[in-house]
Amino acid sequence: MTTTVEDSTTAPHDPTTWQLVVGLEVHVELATATKLFSASANRFGDEPNTNIDPVTLGLPGALPVLNEQAVELAMRIGTALNCTIQPCTFHRKNYFYPDMPKAYQISQYDQPLNVDGHLELPDGTRIGIERAHLEEDTGKSTHVGGTGGRIHGSEYSLIDFNRAGVPLVEIVSRPDIRTAEQARQYVTELRAILLAVGASDAKMEEGSMRVDANVSVHHPGEPLGTRCEIKNVNSVRSLGRAIEYEMRRQIDLLEGGDRIRQETRHWNENDGRTHTLRSKEDADDYRYFLEPDLVPLAPSAEWIERVREAMPLLPAARRKRLADATGVEPDSEAAMVVVDRGQDDYVLAVGHLGGDLGRALVHVKEAYAEQGPEPAVPAQDLALLTNLESDGRLTATQAKTVLAELVANDGGDAEAIAAAKGFEAMDSSALETMVDQAIAANPDVWAKFVGGEGKAMGALVGAVMKASKGQADGRAVTALLNAKRA
C-alpha cells in the first residue's frame, strides 16, 4: 500500500505528491439490555416489530427516559479512548424519514459526553478522537422492488422498529489518518477496544458497527482539500478499498483540472466504486435544538472514577504485556492475533504453570483459532506439552501432532498421547548416526552445503526426517549439521 501517490508527469504545474487525509465516523450499537430511552429489549435478530413500545414508536405523548447503562458504556468508550468525560446535553436532530417515527433523532450536538481523546494504532501512531457521543438508532427500512434497495422507485417499504431507539455511540476521529491501511488499523483497533470494554459486539456485518469515511486529498503544506463522505462500507476490507478508490477518483479529478464537490458518496461493493448520494446543497437542515424532554447529563466525578477503575486492560496494553513475556514485538502477528482472540491470559497462564511461553504463544496462535478467550484445553496440559518440547522429548512436528490431539479432545496428558503415538525422543547418538548416514548418502549435497549453499541444508534435513519417519527434531538436526560443517 502506498501512503502517498507520486504526481504524474501529466500535471507539470504541480510536481509535488498527493497526501490522503481521512477522518472516520464510527457508529457502534451499545450492548445494553434495553433501548436508549425506553424499556424495550435491545436485541438483534428478533421478529420484526416485537421490541417496541410507545417511546420507540414515537407515539404522541410518549417521553424518553435516558438509560443509565448506555451512559455507563459510553463512558467506558470515552475512558478507553482517553477522552475527557464532561457534562453534556441532548439535542433533537430534525429530519423526516419513514424509519424515524418521531421525525427527529435524539443525539448530542454541541455538548457531547466524551471529547478530545486519542486512539493509538499498534505501531504507536496516535489518531485524535474529536468526540464520542450518545444517540439513538433509527428503525430499519427494507425497500422492496425498484433498484438497489433504494426507496426511490420501490413498490413498497417494510419498516422494522426493533432497531429504533437502540443506543449508539458515534466516535468521530480527527482527520489524522493518512493511509487506507491506517484506516483499517484504526477500525480494527477500535473494534478490539470496544470488545475489551464490553461496550458493543461491534459486528460490521450485522451493522452493530458502521463506518463512514471522510476522504480528501491535498498537497502537503497546503490547506486540506474538499472532503467527500463515503457511506455503506460494510467491512474493514471494503473500507480500505473504498478509501483507495475515492483517493484515486479525487486525484484524477484534480489532475484533470476539475474541483471536488463536497458530497456524500455511496460505496458500491460490486463495482468497487463510490457514487454520488447527495451533494452538500441538498443536505438537510437539521434544525438542531435542545431536547426539551430530557435534562442535562452531568456524570459525577465518583461515577467517572468508578468507570476508570473498572477499566479492563486494553488491547494495546495486553499486547505489550504478552510481548514482554514471550519476547515478540507488540505488533507482531502472534501478539496481535492472540490478543485479538483474547487468549493472551491463557498463554500467560501456561507460563505461570511453568510452561514455555514462546512455544505456548506459537501453539495458541496456530491451533486455537476456533477457541474463544477461554480455550477448552487446560493450560496445564499445554504447559506439559511445551515442556516436553523444551526438554527435547518431542520434536516440533511431534508436538504439533500431540497439540492437535489436545485440541480435538479438549485437553489430555501430552506425555500419554505421545507415548500412545509411539513418539520417543531420539537419543542423540541415534540422531547423529542418521545425520552421518544422510551425509554419506548425499555427498554432492553435503559439498554444496559446505560450500555455503544454504538451500542444501534443507535437502539434508529432509533426508534425516525421511529416515527417521518424521521423528527427528528438525532443530537438533540443523544444529548437528552446522556443527559437522564447522
Partner 1 sequence: MMADDPIPTNDADPAGTTTAFDVAAAVRAGTVTAASLVERDLAAIAAREPELHAFNLVLADRARAEAAAVDALVAAGNDPGPLAGVTVALKDNMCTHGVLTTCSSKILEGWKPPYDATVVTRLRAAGAVVIGKTNLDEFAMGSSTENSAFGPTRNPHDPSRVPGGSSGGSAAAVAAGFSRVSLGSDTGGSIRQPAALCGVVGVKPTYGYVSRYGLVAFASSLDQIGPFTTTVADAALLLDVIGGHDPMDSTSIPQAQPSLLRAIEQDVEGLRVGRITDLPAGADDDVVERLELAFDALRDAGAKIVDVRVPAFSFGLTAYYLIAPAEASSNLARYDGVRYGLRIESPDTNAMYSATREAGFGEEVKRRIMLGTYALSAGYYDAYYGKALKVRRLIADDFDRAYQDADVLLTPASPSVAFPFGSKGDNPLAMYLCDVYTIPTNLAGHPGMSVPFGTGADGLPVGAQILAPALGEPQMFRAAAALERAMTKELAR
For partner 1 (CB under 8 A), the number of binding residues is: 27
Distances (CA, A) of 46 to 142, 149, 288: 16, 22, 32
H or E segment and range at residue 445 = helix 443-450
| CA separation for the pair 247, 239 (Å, rounded) | 12
The binder of partner 1 chosen from 23, 101, 112, 165 (CB under 8 A): 101
CB of 156 to partner 1, least distance (A): 9
Residue 229 CB coordination number (10 Å) = 20
Shorter beta-carbon distance to partner 1: residue 65 or 404? 65
Rounded Cα distance, 367 and 382, in Å: 11
The answer to whether residue 294 forms part of the interface with partner 1 (CB under 8 A) is yes
Q: Which of 18, 21, 22, 64 binds partner 1 (CB under 8 A)?
A: 64
Question: DSSP alpha helices (H): ranges in 311-424?
Answer: 315-326, 333-340, 344-352, 357-367, 379-390, 396-408, 414-420
Q: Which three cell numbers stand for residue 127?
A: 489518531
Nearer to partner 1, 56 or 208 (CB): 56
61 binds partner 1 (CB under 8 A): yes
Judged by beta carbon, residue 98 or residue 372, the one nearer partner 1 is: 98
Q: Which of 28, 30, 57, 230 binds partner 1 (CB under 8 A)?
A: 57
What is the spatial distance between Cα 26 and Cα 383, in angstroms, rounded to a whole number? 41
Q: Which of residues 180-219 bind partner 1 (CB under 8 A)?
A: none
Nearer to partner 1, 101 or 355 (CB): 101
Judged by beta carbon, residue 105 or residue 398, the one nearer partner 1 is 105
Task: Give the range of 73-81, 289-297, 310-318, 359-367 binding partner 1 by CB under 8 A.
Answer: 289-297
Residue pair 389/425 in contact (Cβ under 8 Å)? The answer is no
Sequence-ordered strand ranges (E) for 2-124: 4-5, 18-29, 84-85, 91-94, 104-107, 114-120
Q: Which H/E stretch holds residue 184? A: helix 180-196
- The least CB distance from residue 405 to partner 1, in Å, is 58
Q: Is 66 in the site for partner 1 (CB under 8 A)?
A: yes
Nearest Cα to Cα of residue 82 among 133, 128, 24, 134 = 128
Residue 92 binding partner 1, by CB under 8 A: yes
Smallest separation (angstroms) from partner 1 to the CB of 65 = 5
Residue of 54, 87, 148, 220 that binds partner 1 (CB under 8 A): 54
- The binding site for partner 1 (CB under 8 A) comprises 54, 57-66, 92, 94, 96, 98, 101-104, 285, 287-289, 292-295
